[in-house]
Amino acid sequence: MTDATVTRPRTRRDAQFDRIRDREAKLAGTTQRKGRFLSKFLNNRLAVIGFAIFAVICLMSLFAPLIAQHDPMSPNLRAIAKPPSAEHWFGTDKTGRDIFARVLYGGRVSILVGLGSALLSALIGVIIGVYSGYVGGWLDWIAMRISEIFMSFPQIILVLLLVAILGQSLVNLIVIFTLTGWGGIYRMARARMLSIREEEYVQALRSFGLGPARIAYKHMLPNALGPIMVNITLSTAAFILQEAGLSFLGLGVPLSIPTWGNILNAAQDLRVLEQNWWIWLPVGATISLFVLSVNFIGDGLRDATDPSQQG
């Protein structure tokens, strides 16, 4: 297709450029893109600590059957509301279930809800936001209005509505979180696209006649991934808190399934709150620790992907 190889007589300029190339060659070849990202992340001590805590909690939940010595569901009538002991590390609740086991098993569901909802809403938000932000026009207008409708809907009413219609379930909760959560990530992806759209490399691709989907998803999206990843981590943390909040009210995951929120639910009873601190404090601390660690990871990602801090 090209005849760029056409040989032409060497000119003085060629020699000049050869010298420039040699100089360039000497300077080149030291920087590595991937390595820079990783080293920046690892240099951020809080992010590394956050990642360690995050990993420990995730792994312990994942391998709960191997770690926990008790079944999280079966009541033990001889050990009701016992404080922490060698047998029950976090004590037992009012029906004699081992709280340590419940926190581990509960983590599985809570993390699933948080991460699952965050990933799903990111998927929806990114697919819509990247395309409509690049193309603009009426499509963008419609997407924007829809997201406004979903975001202005009070979440608690949506939850009540869906619980009333569909009943309580894990899947319903994820659906609700996704429906109310995609708007934020959509707006962020769209805003990124609006600014990237003006970059000259995008204009160049358009001047080649490449289709909008290809330009938006293949060429522009990689440049918006940093903020999107940050947003996913932060909304994971937010969803876990929301799950805890809703379950505490008895509106979240059915009470029969242990989740961090459902364990906390027992603390609705004032007597439990005053006398049986081990029923709510360990799980509360776990939630805080987890959310905090996820936020640290998010901050670390943000700094590591910030294009204004090239180095």
Partner 1 sequence: MQPNDPILTLRDVQVHFPIKSGILKRTSGHVRAVDGVDLDVYRGEVLGLVGESGCGKTTLGKAILQLVRATNGTVTYQGDGGETELTTLDDAGLFAFRKRLQIVFQDPHSSLNPAFTIFGSLEDPLRHYGVKTRKERRKIVGDLLEAVNMRRESMDRYPHEFSGGQRQRIGIARALSIQPELVVCDEAVSALDVSIQAQVLQLLMDLKREKNLTYVFITHDLSVTEFLCDRIAVMYLGKIVELCDAEELYSNTLHPYTEALLSAIPVADLDRKSQRIVLEGDVPSPVNPPSGCPFHPRCRYAQPVCRTDVPQLRRYRGKSGQHLAACHLIDHPLAD
- Contact residues for partner 1 (CB under 8 A)? 1-6, 8, 11, 13-14, 16-17, 20-21, 24-25, 28, 31, 33, 199-201, 203-210, 214, 218-219, 222-223, 307, 310
Assign residue 81 a region (left: φ > 0; alpha: ψ between -120 and 50; beta: otherwise). Answer: left
C-beta of 6 vs 86, nearer to partner 1:
6
CB of 16 to partner 1, least distance (A): 7
φ, ψ of residue 135 to 5 degrees: the values are -75, -40
Listing DSSP states for 234-257 in one string gives HHHHHHHHHHHHHHHTT-SS-TTS
CB of 298 to partner 1, least distance (A): 21
Going by C-alpha positions, the residue among 254, 240, 245, 236 that lies closest to residue 286 is: 240
Q: At what angle do helices 33-43 and 45-62 cross, to 10 degrees?
A: 90
Going by C-alpha positions, the residue among 168, 35, 47, 57 that lies closest to residue 111 is: 57
Q: How far apart are CA 147 and CA 132, in angstroms?
A: 12
Residue 213 CB: number of other CB atoms within 10 A? 12
C-beta of 215 vs 267, nearer to partner 1:
215
C-beta of 14 vs 148, nearer to partner 1:
14
3-state helix, strand, coil in the chain (%, to 5): 75, 0, 25
CB of 9 to partner 1, least distance (A): 11
C-beta of 25 vs 77, nearer to partner 1:
25
Q: How far apart are CA 111 and CA 118, in angstroms?
A: 10
Report residue 257 CA to chain centroid gap.
Answer: 23
C-beta of 2 vs 256, nearer to partner 1:
2
C-beta of 31 vs 152, nearer to partner 1:
31
Q: How far apart are CA 125 and CA 135, in angstroms?
A: 15
C-beta of 167 vs 222, nearer to partner 1:
222
CB of 234 to partner 1, least distance (A): 22
CB of 122 to partner 1, least distance (A): 18
CB of 199 to partner 1, least distance (A): 4
The helix/strand/coil state of 91 is: coil
Cα dist from 166 to 39, 163, 176, 179, 246, whole Å = 48, 5, 11, 15, 16
C-beta of 94 vs 219, nearer to partner 1:
219
CB of 51 to partner 1, least distance (A): 24
CB of 21 to partner 1, least distance (A): 6
> Kindly report the CA angle at 146 between 141 and 203, in degrees rounded to 5?
35
CB of 188 to partner 1, least distance (A): 17
C-beta of 35 vs 154, nearer to partner 1:
35
